[in-house]
Structure 1
């Protein structure tokens, strides 16, 4: 195993002689009209509801690859199919350069061949490959009051404890963790709450095409613990009441382009299941075959296969939280893919004093965008040991990312009608370097209490400015109209002029209110939405 936060022995896995990796991009999706007319054949109801909240339409990217095209590629001479992506309408294949190129000659539905070794492409952005050494830190390593124990510093740094005290602990939020394995999550005490409360909804091992996801490398177990671990008074993650899908896309023994394709497959699965937040503590820059290495010029969010997939994932309305990488102290100091994607929320690492961790990877992206987005505790941060089940300190943006992912889920739980883009921006705007970002700190350490209060203040202002009633005076029925996007269930209270409450209705299912039972006269009406309320003089005829 290699490229973990700890030093592992590793070996070079040479590709089969003459074999190349490539993505075969297809021209179209012939049955798209049928699928688009029946979106539940592509996406779960939960996924469609997440889209609807954010005004995101189902489109061609959601349509599966054509099964006939796939079968013909799979049966082609000398071709091995390894993965596929509906988002990118592409099939990951392996074969000789000649056999792969021949696909475009014999199949009219093949639009383009994209070799992982870009020097083999007829057109490519840059044939120049990075010469940096292999990065061994691949793993971009009701009101509730908790005794956090060992996780106190990593939780309170972000004011996640404030969200917990307000009752936002991740309940109802769905998080996918895409990583290298989750051994002993089905046994350790720290995950007993997840198991007892049925918070693990499923998972899949894409590397081995297996439904057993409680296997593989322990990195994923450590990562999951920072979000979901729960031992009262000893260790509590940042979103202990969230639900989870656990996906394995990382092949620790080999460093191959296929891992990028498997990650895209996992992200597509997460999207279809209605996941809100994806945590990825992985990043790609170098491979066993140096011809496949990415250069800094590739870190523009548009070049690598995984970053293109991540950008589509973000456009589906999910929050994609990704570790920046652990290369800050090396000659290759930059983030890896997909942390370079514009729609990915990239997380660097600081120590308990909020000083930058020396290993935390740098931005900006090749096209000069700010990365990382924000920072969280990642140096001497606590995780659950996968063997002993007890907390231990560890290092890496691998862990600052899940610490952040859990708080993101809690924040979004508080304001479910915010779009994913609005969530990203509200969090960035709360960070301590928002007005003066730089190449390693990004926008700095967020303050989720400040972000929460800012959104609440905006909601109150919107509610006050947009809420009206009509008609007034009223005979028997009046209607409440509001343009407040975060209205989640209005309530009303009506008082007479002596201050006595004469009517109350909570969690209105309709904004049309019946008042025929009131005597003619003047009343005080309070319209309430969460912490916001607006008072009207109501005249009853």
Structure 2
């Protein structure tokens, strides 16, 4: 008997020694005795969320039901603090200070499992995943990052995000409540919701902790004409803090899930998340390359659920290509989402952009946008440049939102498919750029049933007006991205001007040619492109 008691005492001592005070995931076995029913979904989902499901014929299921309240009540009776709750994972995140509370919770009949997520007090992390520092920046304007994807085509149609709700999951939004660049958001009441999942307990103040979310938000939301315009400057935004900027523990994947659930519940159309997870301050929590199937990491599972609930998740690929990890992280490996890599201002692969494919062989990243020397707004209200897929993702996300606004009858899957098909290397994807750089005019045409790739090469349709006074327009079609050269000559052969430009695939191309600085008379306009060289006569009056 003395031996048995000694063994039991030793076991208890070892268990206590292995216990770590901190944040824990407590998963539940079921959602029995729930206060809510799927027959009355308006009790737990917003009308926007229900409308999104109805429009896309998405059925309600048990994931939509909240966690059973009786279970939460019994957890609270043990004396622990309930930090937050996830209905998709059917769990609570609890803060446990001692092994007694851990044992008491583990023994509850409805508790399925427990998992350690983060210590109570965390040291500042050495992991920097938000932005890549460069020795030199290209001090251009925000124009390039929009026109690279032909995003101005959607804006010119009047599609700037009105009526659409974008949820931004990030690390904090310092300064976004005060700096002038976000005046229109505040004046027009286009900040739908703020929620701090990291601090828990339904905290709503997000303008603290980290500026990363502010930088990200600026690429989409800013509307300062002749200064800086984002890709969805008239959309409405939900600002959700799911990330601890100072630390890197797997707890953040669970707060990410809760943030995604919130985005779904309020009826968000699109999610941008410039966050990713691969390695942690506690190496026992690290993912492996083999995990990158979209079915292992909880954030990846949740991102796929977002898509299945009818949203479009835009997820940054990561900035790990030049470090030991190299690959995309989670939730970038999820299925049915847009994983966004980075290119530079010249459309070339950015050296830091995390690489694919997924572990199960799917093309990742899906597409790319400018992420090297992207125009952003800092938390102090200054306009500058930053680099990282943290910025390529929201730049793309804003245009995704405008495209869906222009095609409200389409499903999220149809919108994403059109974007992939419009991309620059759709027929030959690789692990660096995925399907390439999207063309949003071409995506719009795909959704309208027009296929620009069926066009024959490059063709000048018309030069109008001709005769002209101050300017004339060169109207053209093109089946792909190409360089063209436009030259104007006097009748005696004198060169008036010559310029080269990159054009995008289009069925309605329009190039303005100024003639205001030349004398009246007849001129020759030469247009050169791959396998094409034509000369047109124009008259200046």
> Residue 240 of structure 2 aligns with which residue?
247
Secondary structure in 1 matching 2:27: strand
Task: Provide the rounded CA distance (Å) in 2 between the counterparts of 1:138 and 1:224.
Answer: 14
Change (3 A) 1:431 1:341: same
Task: Provide the rounded CA distance (Å) in 2 between the counterparts of 1:415 and 1:343.
Answer: 19
Give the superposition deviation at 1:248. Answer: 0.8
Secondary structure in 2 matching 1:35: coil
Match of 2:40 among 15, 38, 41: 38
**What is the RMSD computed on CA atoms of the aligned residues?**
2.4
Task: Provide the rounded CA distance (Å) in 2 between the counterparts of 1:246 and 1:169.
Answer: 19
> Residue 346 of structure 1 aligns with which residue?
339
Task: Provide the rounded CA distance (Å) in 1 between the counterparts of 2:108 and 2:34.
Answer: 20
> Residue 434 of structure 1 aligns with which residue?
426
The answer to whether the 8 Å contact 2:131/2:387 transfers is: no
Task: Provide the rounded CA distance (Å) in 2 between the counterparts of 1:341 and 1:97.
Answer: 35
What TM-score do the two structures reach when normalised by structure 1? 0.73
Match of 1:363 among 348, 356, 359: 356
**Once the two structures are superposed, what CA deviation does each residue of 1:86-140 show, in whole Å capped at 9, x if it has no partner?**
0111223454678646645x322223445559xxxxxxxxxxxxxxx96422469
Change (3 A) 1:109 1:434: same
Alignment of 1:239-278 (within 5 A): 239-278=232-271
Task: Provide the rounded CA distance (Å) in 2 between the counterparts of 1:107 and 1:204.
Answer: 30
Task: Provide the rounded CA distance (Å) in 2 between the counterparts of 1:102 and 1:213.
Answer: 34
Alignment of 1:317-396 (within 5 A): 317-387=310-380, 389-396=381-388
Change (3 A) 1:441 1:36: same
Task: Provide the rounded CA distance (Å) in 1 between the counterparts of 2:169 and 2:27.
Answer: 24
Q: Does 1:161 align with 2:122?
A: no
- Give ranges in structure 2 of 5+ residues lacking alignment: 1-16, 119-124, 134-139, 452-541
Q: Does 1:208 align with 2:199?
A: yes
> Residue 488 of structure 2 aligns with which residue?
none
Match of 1:399 among 391, 394, 407: 391
The answer to whether the 8 Å contact 2:117/2:249 transfers is: no
Change (3 A) 1:325 1:68: same
> Residue 10 of structure 2 aligns with which residue?
none
Task: Provide the rounded CA distance (Å) in 1 between the counterparts of 2:29 and 2:132.
Answer: 35
Match of 1:48 among 28, 43, 50: 50
Task: Provide the rounded CA distance (Å) in 1 between the counterparts of 2:402 and 2:370.
Answer: 17
More moved, 238-247 vs 250-259: 250-259
Change (3 A) 1:325 1:369: same
Secondary structure in 2 matching 1:223: helix
The answer to whether the 8 Å contact 1:169/1:241 transfers is: yes
Give the superposition deviation at 1:80. Answer: 5.0
Task: Provide the rounded CA distance (Å) in 2 between the counterparts of 1:308 and 1:97.
Answer: 30
* Aligned pairs, number: 420
Alignment of 1:460-471 (within 5 A): none
Task: Provide the rounded CA distance (Å) in 2 between the counterparts of 1:338 and 1:63.
Answer: 23
Task: Provide the rounded CA distance (Å) in 1 between the counterparts of 2:131 and 2:337.
Answer: 16
Alignment of 1:515-530 (within 5 A): none
The answer to whether the 8 Å contact 1:47/1:274 transfers is: yes
Q: Does 1:86 align with 2:79?
A: no
> Residue 482 of structure 2 aligns with which residue?
none
Q: Does 1:411 align with 2:420?
A: no
Change (3 A) 1:342 1:98: farther
Task: Provide the rounded CA distance (Å) in 2 between the counterparts of 1:351 and 1:218.
Answer: 23
Task: Provide the rounded CA distance (Å) in 2 between the counterparts of 1:206 and 1:62.
Answer: 19
The answer to whether the 8 Å contact 2:19/2:99 transfers is: no
- Give ranges in structure 1 of 5+ residues lacking alignment: 1-14, 118-132, 142-148, 460-541
Task: Provide the rounded CA distance (Å) in 2 between the counterparts of 1:215 and 1:151.
Answer: 26
More moved, 33-42 vs 249-258: 33-42
